[in-house]
Structure 1
Amino acid sequence: MKVVSFSVNGKMAHFRKVHSNASVLSYFLPPRTTISGIVAGLLGMERDTYYETFSIDNCKIAVACQMPIKKCMQKLNHLMIKSKNDLNGSAENHSQAATELVIPLNIRTGYVSYQIWIHHSDNNIMEKLEWIVNDMPMYYTQGISVALGTAFNLGWIEKKGVYEAEEVYKSDVVDMYSAIPMEYIDDIKLQNMTDRWYRLIKEEVPLEFTKGRKITERGLKNILINIEGSPIKVTAKQYVKLDNGLNIMWMQ
């Protein structure tokens, strides 16, 4: 099985939680649905046309935090919309909303970085993704610019490579480099705290939408994340082993 990998980076990120209302909360990692949107945009697909193409059945995605991150809350001014005439921003009053942002531990010198691994059942899509990773020039010739959430969180891509991978279906103690669906692990091994740091977070994240932008029955899962950016040693029920020695888990 061939796996394409790249990282998306930026100074800050915001991935709005599906249940957010007055306070705009964020996930620590881009959910699978957000990654699908980023990849579809890079491939030049139109908005809301790719949900079935990037369903769990057709596409496998894993993601990892590569740099230590944290969250901060900021008040942002939003347009006060009472009629369609207010959409041009001419209204004197604005609506303030508390917005959660994901930022590096050191905002001056650091940045937010997520590594993404993807395998698609469509060979044409895989060929296009390989071109993006291996041969795409540093400027964009199609699709969208990369943003880590909303449009003002602009980012950039770093190329990682194309790997061969095998799916392992047995219980092993391994270093897991990606976010981990909780149902695929039996135990977490944290005995050795001298060579790596742990700040483990469990989040329920969306994985899949229908055409009407509704979460499917299997579209919400609890995942485990180390927001320090280092791998987690776990007893895994199943995982994917890459030919560069890394172990990852698909978000499915």
Structure 2
Amino acid sequence: MEVLSFKLWGDFGHFKKFYTTTSPLTFEFPPPATIIGIISAIIGLDKKEYLHSFQNHEEFSIAVAIVNPVKKVRWSQNLIDTKQHFWLIDNRTQIRIEFLKNPAFVIYFRHKNQNIHKKLQQHLEQHTCVYTVSLGLSELLANFSYLGKETLQLETSATWQQIRTVVPFSKLQNDSNVIDFEPNKEVFKTNYPIWMEPDRVVSKREDIVFERNGQSMRCKVKECWVTGGGEKIVFF
């Protein structure tokens, strides 16, 4: 499998958890549907149409690795109702929002549609984008850098593997002991939205396991893909 990899980072990020409203909390890394939006912004797919290019999940693959340790901060923000008299100070609502601080990720991506695949490679190589790239909210601007293109080798084994990326639960082997909780590593499990329909309705959610300090996890997975540098990754 030939994939493109690029680093994505920023000062702050916010990927809102679906079950929080008045005090929004953030996921630890961008969900696959968000990564699709970021890639679409880079190559210039219209925001009302881009999800149509990502409905056949057999045509593309996405994996994400956490680079910087997950750090979260919270601060209050004033929201103003701009529909009526937005200049009046008594028309504001103050809420506390949680943000990721100094988030950084490595994204692995491939698409069978060569128009999408090659266009992304071109923009990454030239460090250009059609639309502004952000980390969840338009105010949280992001940067990216091209890491390269490489061919991955499939590996299937029942033995323990050091996985560099986050791992969906469905990719773990059907066993009671599939995650090694090693000392000095912090492994978490969170339910994430995975795929989204063109009408922006989430069609799939799944539990994801990850190491919050950006280290690899020792797991038993059904299959993984090995990079030229020996890193093992798992796709959604």
Same fold per superposition (TM over 0.5): yes
Match of 1:181 among 168, 171, 174: 168
Q: Secondary structure at the match of 2:123?
A: helix
Q: Which residue of 2 aligns with 1:97?
A: 95
Q: Which residue of 2 aligns with 1:147?
A: 134
Q: Which residue of 2 aligns with 1:128?
A: 119
1:66 to partner: Cα distance: 0.3
Q: Which residue of 2 aligns with 1:50?
A: 50
1:76 to partner: Cα distance: 1.1
The letter of the residue matching 1:32 is P
Q: Secondary structure at the match of 1:127?
A: helix
The letter of the residue matching 2:96 is A
1:212 to partner: Cα distance: 1.0
Counterpart-to-counterpart distance in 1, 2:77 and 2:188: 26
Q: Which residue of 2 aligns with 1:107?
A: none
Q: Secondary structure at the match of 2:170?
A: helix
Q: Which residue of 2 aligns with 1:158?
A: 145
1:170 to partner: Cα distance: 3.5
Q: Secondary structure at the match of 2:197?
A: coil
Kept after mapping to 2: 8 A contact 1:63/1:179: yes
1:167 to partner: Cα distance: 3.0
Counterpart-to-counterpart distance in 2, 1:50 and 1:19: 25
Q: Which residue of 1 aligns with 2:211?
A: 226
1:54 to partner: Cα distance: 2.0
Counterpart-to-counterpart distance in 2, 1:4 and 1:172: 27
The letter of the residue matching 1:62 is A
Kept after mapping to 2: 8 A contact 1:5/1:133: no
Q: Secondary structure at the match of 1:60?
A: strand
Counterpart-to-counterpart distance in 2, 1:58 and 1:90: 49
1:8 has 2:8 as partner: yes
The letter of the residue matching 2:228 is D
Counterpart-to-counterpart distance in 2, 1:247 and 1:171: 14
Q: Secondary structure at the match of 2:179?
A: strand
Counterpart-to-counterpart distance in 2, 1:231 and 1:71: 21
1:34 to partner: Cα distance: 0.6
Query: Runs of 5+ in structure 2 lacking a partner?
Result: none
Q: Which residue of 1 aligns with 2:17?
A: 17
Q: Which moved more, 1:142-151 or 1:118-127?
A: 142-151
Q: Secondary structure at the match of 2:51?
A: coil
Q: TM-score, normalised by structure 2?
A: 0.91
Q: Which moved more, 1:49-58 or 1:60-69?
A: 49-58
Counterpart-to-counterpart distance in 2, 1:209 and 1:183: 18
Kept after mapping to 2: 8 A contact 1:202/1:224: yes
1:45 to partner: Cα distance: 0.8
Counterpart-to-counterpart distance in 1, 2:44 and 2:187: 35
Q: Which residue of 2 aligns with 1:242?
A: 227
The letter of the residue matching 2:87 is S
Counterpart-to-counterpart distance in 1, 2:222 and 2:5: 23
Kept after mapping to 2: 8 A contact 1:80/1:91: no
Kept after mapping to 2: 8 A contact 1:51/1:208: no
Kept after mapping to 2: 8 A contact 1:14/1:26: yes
Q: Secondary structure at the match of 1:51?
A: helix
Query: Runs of 5+ in structure 1 lacking a partner?
Result: 104-110
Kept after mapping to 2: 8 A contact 1:67/1:113: yes
